Amino acid sequence: TMSIKPSPLPSAAPGEVPVTESPVATPSCIDDATFEFTLVNVGTDQDCTWLTKNDVQADKRIAQYCTGEIKYAGCPATCGGCDCPADDADYTFPLKNFPDISQDCAWITLNNVDTRRKNYCGTEVGDNCPVACGFCS
């Protein structure tokens, strides 16, 4: 319908629809429903729900298990690993076979990446080098 009273302000030309940019959707932070990890000293596998299943043990379990791959790749929502940090540029760790030699996070991705990740990306190294360890992109 056409207005009989014109508005005091000009409007957009007929047929033009204002273009607005849609917000970019960010992936939601959820635990991987298929992810399992092995319990220390027990050897049984558990999923992310086990971490908080027992209210009395939840804080202790999170403190013990929410590191490295479990925190950033498997159970980020439960473990607080949704915002993956960059590798710590100041962090170094000793080589297993040469404990007097230390390397930084970048060393993990320089050569034999799969072997180095398997051998070094445990709890402490994985926490300090989550990108080099492949836990974050």
DSSP notation for 34-94: T--EEPTTT--EE-HHHHHHSTTTHHHHHHHH-SHHIIIII-HHHHT-SSPPPP-TT-EEE
Residues 82-117 have pLDDT tens digits of: 988 999 999 999 999 999 999 999 999 999 999 999
Q: Cα angle vertex 48, ends 85, 73, to 5°?
A: 30
Q: For 56-69, what is the mean pLDDT?
A: 93
Residues 12-61 have pLDDT tens digits of: 555 544 444 433 333 578 999 999 999 988 889 999 999 999 999 999 99
Q: Show the tokens assigned to 4.
A: 């009989």
For residue 7, pLDDT over 90 is answered with: no
pLDDT of residue 26: 39
pLDDT of residue 40: 86
Q: For 70-76, what is the mean pLDDT?
A: 92
CB 104 within 8 A of CB 92: yes
Predicted structure pTM score: 0.65
Residues contacting 116, CB < 8 A, separation 6+: 107, 108, 109
